[in-house]
Amino acid sequence: MKVFFRRLALYAFALWSFFPLYWLLNTSFKTSKDALARPPTFIFKPIMKNYTEVIKNNEVWGYFVDSLIVAFGTTLFGLLIGVPAAYVLARFKFRGSADFGFWILSTRMTPPIAMLIPFFIMYLKLGILDTHIGIIIAHVGLNLSIIVWLMRGFYEEIPMEIEEASYVDGSSFFQTFYKIAVPLSMPGISAVGIITFLFSWNEFLFALVLGDSVVRTSPVGLYGFVGYQKIYWGQLSASASLLLIPVLFFVFLFQKPLIKGLTLGSFK
Q: Provide, rounded to whole angstroms, the least separation between the CB of residue 83 and other proteins.
A: 9
Q: Provide, rounded to whole angstroms, the least separation between the CB of residue 74 and other proteins.
A: 12
Applying CB under 8 A, which of residues 162, 165, 251, 253 lies at the interface with other proteins?
A: 251
Contact flag: residue 75 with other proteins (CB under 8 A): no
Contact flag: residue 170 with other proteins (CB under 8 A): no
Contact flag: residue 72 with other proteins (CB under 8 A): no
Applying CB under 8 A, which of residues 46, 48, 107, 133 lies at the interface with other proteins?
A: 107
Q: Which of residues 30-59 bind other proteins (CB under 8 A)?
A: 31-33, 35-40, 53, 58-59
Contact flag: residue 171 with other proteins (CB under 8 A): no
Q: Provide, rounded to whole angstroms, the least separation between the CB of residue 179 and other proteins.
A: 14
Query: Whole-angstrom Cα distance, residue 222 to residue 233?
Result: 10
Largest CA distance in the chain: 74
Q: Provide, rounded to whole angstroms, the least separation between the CB of residue 67 and other proteins.
A: 9
Contact flag: residue 96 with other proteins (CB under 8 A): no
Write 66-69 long-range contacts (CB < 8 A, 24+). Answer: 66/132, 66/211, 66/215, 66/216, 66/217, 66/218, 66/221, 67/201, 67/217, 67/218, 67/219, 67/243, 68/246, 69/132, 69/136
Question: CA-CA-CA-CA torsion for 90, 93, 99, 105, nearest 10 degrees?
Answer: 0
Applying CB under 8 A, which of residues 54, 90, 184, 189 lies at the interface with other proteins?
A: 90
Q: Please, are residues 254 and 190 in contact by the beta-carbon 8 Å criterion?
A: yes
Q: Which of residues 189-228 bind other proteins (CB under 8 A)?
A: 191, 195, 198, 202, 204-205, 208-209, 212-214, 218-220, 222-228
Using the CB atoms, write b or e for 7-42: b if 16+ within 10 Å.
eeeeeeeeeeeeeeeeebebbbbbbeebbeeeeeee
Residue partners of 262: CB distance under 8 A and separation at least 6 = 154, 187, 188, 191
Of the two residues 35 and 70, which places its CB atom closer to other proteins in the complex? 35
Question: CA-CA-CA-CA torsion for 208, 210, 213, 219, nearest 10 degrees?
Answer: -30
The pattern of x and - marking residues 14 through 33 that bind other proteins according to CB under 8 A reads x-xxx-xx-xx--x---xxx
The pattern of x and - marking residues 126 through 165 that bind other proteins according to CB under 8 A reads -----------xx-xx--x-x-xxx-xx--xx--x--xx-
Contact flag: residue 267 with other proteins (CB under 8 A): yes
